[in-house]
Chain A
Amino acid sequence: MMFENEPSECIDSRALKSWFVSGLLLGIVAFSIPLAYIFLISPAWDLPREWGWIGIALVTVYTLWSAIIAPQLRIRFWRYEIRENEVDIQNGIFIIKRTLIPMVRIQHVDTEHGPVMRFFGLATLRISTAATDHYIPALSREKAAELMGEIAALAKVSDEDV
């Protein structure tokens, strides 16, 4: 990845908060499974209660990872750059991926946002080619709309060239 300078733009720092909240929400939902086991299933069928504690430990570790550690690592490597003829994306936590999408190949661009992202004023930009889909997550909503327009315009121009 280091053979060429990284793409220039970072994603919005509010991404951390958004990932934290969605990780936490998921963790809370996941907690209900071992809790239900300890208080409902294990007394009813006389199963060892310790398994439930193991479950709680696992869920805790997972929640810590997905709400706090992973977002930190993820945002560290997330970069993108939109150039005249291509979109350059870098992402990953351990395996760092760098993707190059030529403008001529882009078929459509969308923005999407779920409830948590909406709360923080963020949106995900989705770039689709005929064969693949690519995401730039957690951009500010204005930025996402702006990029969508920019890419659509560039993709159109190059479309006429072909």
Chain B
Amino acid sequence: MSEYKRQHPVMIILETFKSIIYAIPPVFFFALSLRDELSSVDIPLLAAIALIATLTYSTAKWYFFTYQYENGYLHIRKGLLFKKERSIKRERVQTVNVITNFIQKLLGVTSLHVKTAGSTEAELSLTAVTLQESQNIKTYLENHATNESGKNNTEESETGNSKVDTVNTYNVPLRNLLLAGATSGRFMLLFSLIAAALSQLYPYIPESYMGLILEQVIPRNNINISLLLILIFGLLLLSWIISTLVFAVQYSNFTLQRQEDDIRISYGLIEQKEYNLNMKRIQALSVKDSLLRQPLNLCSIYAEVAGGSSEKQDYVTTLYPLLNLRELSRFMDNMFPEYIIPENMHPLPLRSRKRYIIRLLVPAIVIVLLLQLVPYGWVSLLVLPPTFLLGLSRYNTGGTAILEKQLTLRFRNIHRYHVFVLRDHIQTMQISSNPFQRMSDLDTIGISVLSSRGGNRFALADVDREESGKIWNWFSRN
């Protein structure tokens, strides 16, 4: 019988630190509103009292938080006045995530989040355990899963259920991370954030300073538009560099590992994250060639994951941030042999081409015509050729393929996607057609799959009726 354990004492520091961080905004506003009265108060004394109180509270929190793992259960007990006790059966545990932020890393501890099916937030979290201990708990909780697959192994050896029996690891090299960051398109977001922040701050900058700066940048009586453009361009470049570096740091040392049916994703420099998921939970795989990456033959790989949604679910669905298209088929063979990249896709029929172009071009023309009413509206005419090309490219991209148990859809919104779904993971299939489509024997084909957001739908418009019928019959079980 193992004793109830406490977490590492540095939890006191972490908790104190957390409380202080959380207290800053309310205290700041409180102080701001009482500015005048505050002068008569001894601030260092007040701060010292608050600090001691927080420390005491954190110590109590640490002292009363105990945990234990044995007999297939993980138990925790916590609470000073309101006692709480919780135990989770090992079999119910879906994921064990190990996340280490910067301070935890400095102090040599890590946090552990245990999740069960269906819960949105972590069922149970330990915030300060040593690396060794976190690995112990993790192995203990996941031991059950290996036991079960051990039992199944007798069957699997005959049926070959798990397609990957060795440990395969993929690592994103730094060069690729920088490339991924540079092409992530996040710089536009950052740029608009900076611009928004500047416009918010603008009124707070004293006018005399502003005048001074403006006079430096734009000489009086000589408003130079090229200087303004250079300024904007410089800001764009700056946000591009920053976003690239942020991306590279965030995803640094990105490792994807597969052992039998367990997939482990870990990354991060300042904040280290580790996610585990079982192959069973992957409902669909998609390969995205974003517009910026397609010319460089680069793609990224995402998954639709069922259930056990974590707070940062978006990151869980990134299976691999950047891969060269040439390596894709080898990557899939090694890591996800359940999914096959079809050699030939069935393209869309020629008669859907005009529909793809019209669908984009007509609304664009209407908007452009309306914009003619405003000054400089003619500039919007420049939008039309790219719109036409996008429509054409969407038509060219659209394609379907059926391979035994797998449906592949290829389509483009802005970025190009290949979506691979196994028949058993398609929740429902819907084929629809509007009167114009019916006139030319075309259908829109859509499938719904389960994802951590609830459900996700993939659709492709204007598929040849013969092909959509084939897909329908492939999905039908009667």
Chain A residues packing against B (C-beta within 8 Å): 1-4, 83-86, 92, 94-105, 129-132, 134
- Contact: A96 with B428, CB < 8 Å? no
B427 contacts across to A, CB distance below 8 A: 101, 105, 129-132
- A-B contact list, 21 entries, CB within 8 Å: A1-B431, A2-B438, A3-B465, A4-B469, A4-B472, A92-B432, A95-B434, A97-B430, A98-B432, A99-B429, A100-B428, A100-B429, A100-B476, A102-B426, A102-B428, A102-B475, A130-B450, A130-B455, A131-B449, A131-B451, A132-B427
Instruction: Kindly count the residue-residue contacts between A and B in the assembled complex, taking CB atoms under 8 Å apart.
Output: 77
Q: Which of B435, B438, B450 is within 8 Å of A131, CB to CB?
A: B450
Question: Nearest B residue to A81 by beta-carbon distance?
Answer: B478
Smallest CB gap from A158: residue in B: B477
A132 to B449, CA, bound (A): 9
Interface size (B, Cβ < 8 Å)?
31
Residues of the B chain whose Cβ atoms lie less than 8 Å from the Cβ of A105 = 427-428
User: How far is B477's CA from A85's CA once the two chains are assembled, in angstroms?
Assistant: 6
Instruction: Name the A residues within 8 Å of B426 (CB-CB).
Output: 102
Tell which of A86, A94, A95, A131 touches B448, judged by Cβ atoms closer than 8 Å. Answer: A131
> Beyond A100-B472, A132-B428: 7 further Cβ-contacts under 8 Å?
A4-B472, A83-B478, A92-B432, A94-B435, A96-B438, A98-B472, A131-B428
Q: Is B310 an interface residue (CB 8 A)?
A: no
Query: Across the interface, which residues of B come within 8 angstroms of A3, CB to CB?
Result: 465-466, 468-469, 472
Shortest CB-to-CB span from A7 to chain B, Å, is 11
Q: Which residues of B contact A2 (CB under 8 A)?
A: 438, 465
Task: State in angstroms the CA–CA spacing of A134 and B433 once bound together.
Answer: 18
CB-contact partner of A97 in B432, B454, B469, under 8 A = B432
Q: How long is the Cα–Cα vector from A104 to B423 in the complex, in angstroms?
A: 12
Is A94 in contact with B428, judged by CB distance below 8 angstroms?
Answer: no
Q: Are B477 and A98 in contact (CB under 8 A)?
A: no
Binary interface profile of B, 36-69, with partner A (CB < 8 Å = 1, else 0)?
A: 0000000000000000000000000000000000
Q: Does B256 contact A (CB under 8 A)?
A: no
